[in-house]
């Protein structure tokens, strides 16, 4: 049985001793190591993918990179080259795991490389940055991060144990890794929050009963971006973007803001998309005092001490309709927009705390006027969490999947 290939990402110009230690543990554990060395200062030698190879993959020479004389510019070139080299190594050899070791610069480079590799492939970063803000390094991929504890500067009684545990963890995952080739089931991606879970569940269950694989994502700041990442990478049959919190929060400065590109990946690839304004009845604010200061004169619901639901009105929702309309203007695939006329979430219901039945109908009227003519725009005389609305989404989903 062939040994699993593990990509080791460590700069030898500053961490030669640590790289050799990690290689030794991985090889003793039965792995074949492909060392990608993105060093800039000097070439030590011995790595399967040398600094010269990394620079060349970015269309540069290592001498040219060194001549840039700016660590940020050098990092950008070597990161581009490292991604290209890693993807080539995976295509040529079939990686079963990836492990890196570094500080902020090494973690940034390795994180970008790992984000370019497929979901499911074991990925582990050992980093001095692990105890702080890690989102930029991890993105939306399944990357594990381990605290290096001490600085990565030589070997000591703590670092050797951390490095050994990390290497053995990746070796174990690599030995058990089986690449996912994709199943026969059509893949459907959906968004929700707890306040619309009652309406989402029957949709998921119906499509699963039809033979689909359904992945549901919590649209509270990371879920939608993960959905977009999968839509850009996987063979996705349908996207049901039924919780628009992250887009609404981007437009108004809410906590779940995921930037201007949230929701665009499926549209760009021509994947059928069904939008609905689930949870558009509120912007996610911080603690109540902060929410009241940022969004004065609104209705508020304290969801918990850290989060406040800030009630939207028509003027808050018009930008959402405009944004979706602009996003889908040149869509390559079918787009639908379904509006429930009796409320957008559990908060926006007779049982909720910020219910306003006057808003959904006027929002629907406005949204209809701005949507491109190719968008299938529908209203349903029901609440988002009612069976009638779920039935309408299920019927549309089945129609799109049948095509």
Q: Which band of pLDDT confidence, cut at 50, 70 and 90, is reported for residue 257?
A: very high
Residues 263 and 348 in one domain: yes
Q: Which band of pLDDT confidence, cut at 50, 70 and 90, is reported for residue 140?
A: confident
Express each pLDDT in 57-112 by its tens digit. Answer: 999 999 999 999 998 999 999 999 999 999 999 999 999 999 999 998 999 999 99
- Which structural domain range is residue 327 located in? 187-402
Residues 155 and 229 in one domain: no
10 Å CB burial of residue 71 (0-12, 13-18, 19+) is exposed
Residues 91 and 45 in one domain: yes
Last residue of a domain, one of 176, 201, 225: 176
The tokens for 28 are 């003793």
Residues 244 and 305 in one domain: yes
Residues 171 and 271 in one domain: no
Q: Give which of 91, 98, 80 is closest to 38, Cα–Cα.
A: 80
Express each pLDDT in 356-387 by its tens digit. Answer: 999 999 999 999 999 999 999 999 999 999 99
- Domain for residue 206, yes or no? yes
- What pLDDT score does 370 carry? 98
Residues 262 and 337 in one domain: yes
Residues 263 and 320 in one domain: yes
398 or 69, which is more confident? 398
Residues 170 and 196 in one domain: no
Burial 358-373 (b: 16+ CB within 10 A, else e): ebbeebbebbeeebee
Express each pLDDT in 99-111 by its tens digit. Answer: 999 998 999 999 9
Express each pLDDT in 201-224 by its tens digit. Answer: 999 999 999 999 999 999 988 889
pLDDT at 182 over 70: no
Summary mean pLDDT of the chain: 94
Give yes or no for a contact between 98 and 122, defined as CB atoms under 8 angstroms apart.
yes
What is the full DSSP assignment across 219-244?
A: TTTTHHHHHHHHHHHS--SEEEEEE-
Residues 151 and 197 in one domain: no
Question: What gap in Å lies between CA 241 and CA 271, rounded to an integer?
Answer: 12
Domain count within the chain: 2
Residues 192 and 170 in one domain: no
Q: Which band of pLDDT confidence, cut at 50, 70 and 90, is reported for residue 331?
A: very high
Once rounded to an integer, what is the mean pLDDT over residues 169-182? 87
- What pLDDT score does 352 carry? 94
CATH number of the domain to which 349 belongs:
3.40.50.12030
CATH number of the domain to which 105 belongs:
3.40.50.12020
- Domain for residue 182, yes or no? no
Last residue of a domain, one of 128, 149, 176: 176
Residues 223 and 163 in one domain: no
Last residue of a domain, one of 157, 176, 195: 176
Q: Which band of pLDDT confidence, cut at 50, 70 and 90, is reported for residue 131?
A: confident
Residues 128 and 207 in one domain: no
- Domain for residue 181, yes or no? no
- What pLDDT score does 1 carry? 58
């Amino acid at each position: 049985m062939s040994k699993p290939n593990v990509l080791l990402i460590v700069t030898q110009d500053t961490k030669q001793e640590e790289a050799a230690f990690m290689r030794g543990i991985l090889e003793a554990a039965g792995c074949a190591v492909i060392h990608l060395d993105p060093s800039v200062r000097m070439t030590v030698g011995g790595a399967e993918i040398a600094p010269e190879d990394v620079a060349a993959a970015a269309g540069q020479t290592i001498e040219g990179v060194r001549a840039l004389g700016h660590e940020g510019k050098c990092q950008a070139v070597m990161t581009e080259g490292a991604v290209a080299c890693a993807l080539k190594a995976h295509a040529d050899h079939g990686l079963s795991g990836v492990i890196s070791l570094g500080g902020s610069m090494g973690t940034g480079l390795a994180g970008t490389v790992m984000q370019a590799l497929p979901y499911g492939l074991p990925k582990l970063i050992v980093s001095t940055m692990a105890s702080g803000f890690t989102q930029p390094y991890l993105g939306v991929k399944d990357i594990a991060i381990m605290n290096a504890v001490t600085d990565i500067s030589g070997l000591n009684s703590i670092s050797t144990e951390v490095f050994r545990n990390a290497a053995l963890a990746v070796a174990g995952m690599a030995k058990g890794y089986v690449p996912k080739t994709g199943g026969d089931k059509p893949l459907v991606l959906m968004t929700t929050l707890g306040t619309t879970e009652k309406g989402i569940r029957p949709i998921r269950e119906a499509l699963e009963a039809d033979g689909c694989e359904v992945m549901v994502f919590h649209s509270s700041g990371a879920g939608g971006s993960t959905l977009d990442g999968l839509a850009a990478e996987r063979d996705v049959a349908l996207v049901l973007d039924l919780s628009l919190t992250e887009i609404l929060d981007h437009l108004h400065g809410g906590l779940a803001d995921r930037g201007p590109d949230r929701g665009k990946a499926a549209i760009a690839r021509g994947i059928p998309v069904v939008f609905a304004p689930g949870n558009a009845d509120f912007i996610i604010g911080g603690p109540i005092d902060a929410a009241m200061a940022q969004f004065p004169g609104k209705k508020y619901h304290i969801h918990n001490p850290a989060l406040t639901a800030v009630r939207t009105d028509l003027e808050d929702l018009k930008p959402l309709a405009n944004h979706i309309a602009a996003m889908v203007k040149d869509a390559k695939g079918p787009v639908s927009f379904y509006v429930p006329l009796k409320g957008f979430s559990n908060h926006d219901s007779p049982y909720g705390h910020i219910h306003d039945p006057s808003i959904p109908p006027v929002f629907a009227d406005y949204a209809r006027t701005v949507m491109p003519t190719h968008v299938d725009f529908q209203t349903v005389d029901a609440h988002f969490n009612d069976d009638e609305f779920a039935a309408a989404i299920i019927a549309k989903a089945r129609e799109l999947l049948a095509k």
